[in-house]
Amino acid sequence: MINRRRTYKELEQDIRDLNKKLLRCGRTEKQLREIVKKYHSLIETASDLIWEVDLNGVYTFVSPNVKIVLGYDVDEMIGVSFFNFVAPSDIERTKTFFVEKSGQMESFTSWRFIQIHKNGREVIMEVNGTPFFNAEGKLIGWCGFDKDITAKVEAEEALRASENKFRSLVDTTSDWVWEVDINGLYTYASPKAKELLGFDSHEIVGEKLFKFITDEELKTTRSFFKRMCADPKPFPNYIVTQIRKDRHRVITEISGAPVFDNSGTFCGFCGCSKDITVRTLAENELRESEERYRNLFENTEAGVFRATIDVPEFIAVNKKFAEIFGYSTDEILIRPSEFKITDSKELNDLYWLVREKGSIENYEHETVTKGGEKITCIASVKMFPQHNYVEGIIVDITKRKKAEMALKAREAELDIKNQSLEEMNTALRVLLNKRDEDKTELEEKVILNIQKLITPFLDKLKLSKLDSKQASFVNILESNLKDISSPFSHRFSSKHLRLTPAELQISNLIKLGKDSKEIAELLNLSVATIETHRRNIRNKFGLKRTKQNLRTYLSDLLNE
């Protein structure tokens, strides 16, 4: 093609087009300079370390803050492999990662490795990188930024250690640790729940705390929880009775504190529960014991007191103690000048005796009341040096002493009367002995007179001519005289005290062998009457339903 010579106008137009292009290029260059300036400003002010490395890991660029992060100047790192700055303990892992990523040619984020600061300390880095390529698309290196997360990692480790310590504390503490939300729903329960309530942790989490409260205390517990949620603040030592899995009751002491999220919003409570069942029962028993002691202290008939050791002053007295000395308790305790231990010589001596010996029992002494009356008291006192007081009991035995004295006087009087009575008994025994002797002498005289004055005439009478009836009377008379004169005749008579005179007379005739007809003739009675008397005699001697011979029985009775 033949070149045509360009005209002036065409050249002029070309010049104008070139000027426009130059103007556009000038603007682009200016914008590029501004972008580069912003890029450099970002690099210089960034807190992270910005870098570039080639395919061998040699630094081709590092941002100036490398001085802050690793302690090196930029010139000390450019042209040096970044592996030279990796901790020996982490270099193999880092090389493996670099080779792997070079093969994949992919970006990576939040990879951690350890570098060495110029001063020798380890710096934990979190690195983000991306590959970059030339115009032909060939990988020529990597660029990215490192963040020093040493403090963060140390904080995480410290937090983890703290959590482990807390977890260990929670797992080993004797208290049950828990957490609930604003609805009272358990969100955490430590393993101690098993020991306290009998439930495993997973059986409690998700349940409301009110499920484990007794019916009697459910209403008050709901009200308490509502108040705490309305005004969240720590609460100590809230005591409530809970229900174990085995339905037994356990008294717990609960302490808690409110929990807030990062925005400060109240989201529940955390706290711990302690089993105080044994302690509460012991406290109740102690309280009952103290009440019993107080009741005994106030109502006993003995005077009870407590006084300090260092200075002899009363610190507690019961009403009876004050009454013994004629005072009121207020006069002794509220106005101690009214009545002091040192005012009474006897009490003062007692006080120092206890201090010397530690304790005394049944110490009898005399003292004087407010009204000047002498009284006798007995005291038992013990010192408690660990509590700096002495404690004792005083009993007014004045009436008892007077009674004892009266009793002794009466005993002396009785001794005199007893001695006199013994003398009288001696005289009476002498008199009785004399009477027995007189009785024996009388009996001997009676027997002798019968033998001398009656028996000879009876013998002569039996030899005379008597009819059968007269002979029978003589035999009876002789037999009766023998009974009278017999020293054992009273036995028979005493056994027959229940018999009437007629029955007694008939019994004697039966004993002599007389039958009913003979007895009837002798006594001028009918045979039927005699038979009636015989039946009555058998009945009185218990022979009614027996075959015992009445004559044999009466003879044996006489000979007993």
Convert the pLDDT of each residue in 28-50 to its tens digit: 555 555 555 555 555 665 678 88
Instruction: Check residue 272 and give its pLDDT.
Output: 92
Burial 181-218 (b: 16+ CB within 10 A, else e): eeebebeebbebbbebbebebeebbeeebeebbeeeee
Q: Answer whether 245's CB lies under 8 Å from 228's CB.
A: no
Residue 226 has pLDDT above 50, yes or no: yes
CA dist 524 and 535 (Å) reads 19
Residues 213 and 117 in one domain: no
Residue range 417-428: mean pLDDT, rounded: 87
Q: Which residue has the higher pLDDT, 173 or 258?
A: 258
pLDDT tens for residues 384-399? 888 888 888 888 888 8
The answer to whether the CB of 60 falls within 8 A of the CB of 77 is no
Has residue 408 been placed in a domain?
Answer: no
Q: Which residue has the tokens 């054992």?
A: 488
Q: What is the pLDDT of residue 487?
A: 55
Domain end, chosen from 365, 396, 427, is at 396
Query: Residues 388, 477: one domain?
Result: no
Residues 184 and 142 placed together within one structural domain of the fold: no
- Order across the sheet with 359-368: list the strands: 314-317, 303-308, 389-396, 374-384, 359-368
Q: Specify if 10 maps to a domain.
A: no
Asked if residue 267 has pLDDT above 90, the reply is yes
3-state secondary structure of 162: helix
Same domain, 148 and 198: no
Q: How many residues does the chain have?
A: 560
Integer Cα distance of 65 and 82 in angstroms: 16
Residues 233/258, Cβ–Cβ less than 8 Å: yes
CATH number for the domain harbouring residue 243: 3.30.450.20
CA pair distance 373, 198, nearest whole angstrom: 69
Q: Are 542 and 477 in contact (CB under 8 A)?
A: no
User: Does residue 38 sit within a domain?
Assistant: no
210: containing domain: 173-282
The confidence score (pLDDT) of residue 490 equals 47
Q: What is the pLDDT of residue 182?
A: 95
How much is the mean pLDDT over the chain? 83
Closest by Cα among 542, 467, 549, 481 to 510: 549
- Domain-located, residue 167: no
For residue 20, being part of any structural domain is answered with no
Q: What's the CA dihedral at 413, 414, 418, 421 to 10 degrees?
A: 80
Instruction: Write the pLDDT tens digit of every residue in 56-108.
Output: 999 999 988 889 899 999 999 999 999 999 999 999 999 999 888 888 888 99
The verdict on residue 440 lying in a domain is no
Contact 485/450 with Cβ under 8 angstroms?
Answer: yes
Whether residue 252 is predicted with pLDDT greater than 90 in this model: the reply is: yes
Tally of domains within the chain: 4
81 within domain boundaries: yes
Res. 242 pLDDT band, cuts 50 70 90: very high
Query: pTM of the predicted model, to two decimals?
Result: 0.42
Confidence of residue 291 (pLDDT cuts 50, 70, 90): confident
- Res. 173 pLDDT band, cuts 50 70 90: confident
pLDDT score at 492 = 44
